[in-house]
Amino acid sequence: MSFVGAILPAWGYHLKADYTAIGYHFLGINLGLVASVRAGRALLARRGIRFTLVFGCMAAFAALLYLSFVPPPRGDLWRIGGLFVIGAAVGILNAAIFHAISPIYRLNPIVTLNLAGMFFGAGCFLMALLLAGTFNVYTVPSILFFVALVPGFFALWFARTTCPPVVPAPERSYHRAGSDLRSPVALLFSILLFFQFGNEWSIAGWLTLFLIQRLGLSPATSLLLLAAYWLALLLGRVLAQWLLPRVGHWRLLMGSAAGAMLGCFILALTNNRFGAGMGVLLVGFGFALVYPLTVERIGERFPQYHPGFFNGAFSIALIGGMLAPWHLSYAADLWGIRVVMLLPMAGTCIVFLLLVVMWIESRFGARQLSAAGAR
């Protein structure tokens, strides 16, 4: 998932201001993700978890290998098609992995999501680090070949792995998904996840180009700062394991949102490398806790929710939020590259306000229950 934001400098997009074309790269991977929903369900139902994992990895391997043959000056559509296949592979793998870890998710949702977030952050960190280390050493086709070896290795590994059987889960159609919005609390959760995911992926997608064009950093340095962003998210997940039993969850949520808002503000205004580094770290640490803690609140209020299934308005919010980097491309064309940090800052303010509303609703609901019990 972190591939697009990290590969753009290698494809030379930092040398031009064709932001709309850049946005279509993000759109390609997200359309593939949406298109994979039915394919993932069908593969899981007919062939099981192991085959689905191998299929997803092989699709990613083939797409990355294909992209190594279509670098610029070939047209953008060649690469967007490859990114569509990568998005489809991501969606298929996501469905298979969450089915595989369903037993431990039911036992402890918040810890399971934090561990999943740690591995996800580690993969994104290593992707940015790999591209930063090879940027000035190897050609773009060679870099993409090295990247393609990762899913190729996991395809072989999963082929030799024993996986649990698929546990049927209640499926909900796109038409019925909107029924979740009848609940004001569900609507709040959906809007919160929409903006939170939009904020995270806007930073991840546009950070390298922003640092190169706004601050004049080298592509390799900008990729290192992107790696620092993912590392901050990773360390935030690790720190969460120690903080969760000791600090109130609402306090953690508020602190995370405030830190992310401050980091976006620093990034939007800084003109030097130190300010960029501080802003990146604050944003990464601030974003680290919001999603798993929010999902925990969803699990308490809506026990039927599961993050691995296309389940109602929540999953619609996640997919919609991940389209934010594409939407930012039009804003950047109108107002310049600086806006790619200003809009996530506004989105973080909205997340902060939504958290306040949800905290008030939670306290009010608890008081109503206490009053009802007293009567």
- Give pTM, 2 decimals: 0.87
Tens digit of pLDDT for each residue in 238-259?
Answer: 887 777 777 777 778 778 878 8
Lowest mean pLDDT among 227-231, 278-282, 292-296: 292-296
Average pLDDT, the chain: 83
pLDDT of residue 55: 95
User: Which of 81-85, 163-167, 302-306, 359-363 has maximum average pLDDT?
Assistant: 81-85
DSSP 137: T
- What percentage of the chain reaches a pLDDT higher than 90? 34
Residue 197 has pLDDT above 50, yes or no: yes
Residue 174 has pLDDT above 50, yes or no: no
Give the residue with greater pLDDT, 147 vs 178. Answer: 147
Look at residue 190 and tell me if it is in a domain: yes
pLDDT of residue 302: 63
Look at residue 171 and tell me if it is in a domain: no
pLDDT of residue 84: 95
Residue 230 has pLDDT above 70, yes or no: yes
pLDDT of residue 190: 77
Alpha carbon of 333 to those of 23, 250, 268, 324: distances in Å? Answer: 10, 38, 17, 15
DSSP 16: S
In the predicted model, what is the mean pLDDT of residues 3-22? 89
Look at residue 173 and tell me if it is in a domain: no
In the predicted model, what is the mean pLDDT of residues 306-317? 55
Give the residue with greater pLDDT, 250 vs 343. Answer: 343
pLDDT of residue 28: 92
Instruction: Judge whether 82 and 67 are in contact, CB under 8 Å.
Output: yes
Alpha carbon of 3 to those of 154, 155, 181, 187, 204: distances in Å? Answer: 17, 18, 33, 31, 10
In the predicted model, what is the mean pLDDT of residues 182-198? 78
Look at residue 172 and tell me if it is in a domain: no
| pLDDT confidence tier of residue 74, bands split at 50, 70 and 90 | confident
Tens digit of pLDDT for each residue in 135-169?
Answer: 888 888 999 999 999 999 999 999 988 876 766 55
In the predicted model, what is the mean pLDDT of residues 315-319? 64
Residue 110 has pLDDT above 70, yes or no: no
| pLDDT confidence tier of residue 317, bands split at 50, 70 and 90 | low
Full domain range(s) for residue 314: 3-161+180-374
- What percentage of the chain reaches a pLDDT higher than 70? 84
How many CA within 13 A on the CB side of residue 140? 16
In the predicted model, what is the mean pLDDT of residues 302-329? 67
Look at residue 350 and tell me if it is in a domain: yes
pLDDT of residue 168: 57
Look at residue 169 and tell me if it is in a domain: no
Alpha carbon of 353 to those of 192, 195, 229: distances in Å? Answer: 9, 11, 24
* 260 membership: H or E segment, kind and range: helix 249-269
Lowest mean pLDDT among 146-160, 171-185, 327-341: 171-185
Could you tell me the two tokens for 67?
């992209």
What is the SS3 assignment for 169? Answer: coil
pLDDT of residue 226: 96
Tens digit of pLDDT for each residue in 289-302?
Answer: 777 677 666 666 66
Look at residue 267 and tell me if it is in a domain: yes
CATH of the domain at 56: 1.20.1250.20
Residue 38 has pLDDT above 90, yes or no: no
Residue 310 has pLDDT above 90, yes or no: no
Could you tell me the two tokens for 121?
């952050």
Look at residue 256 and tell me if it is in a domain: yes
Q: How many domains does the chain have?
A: 1
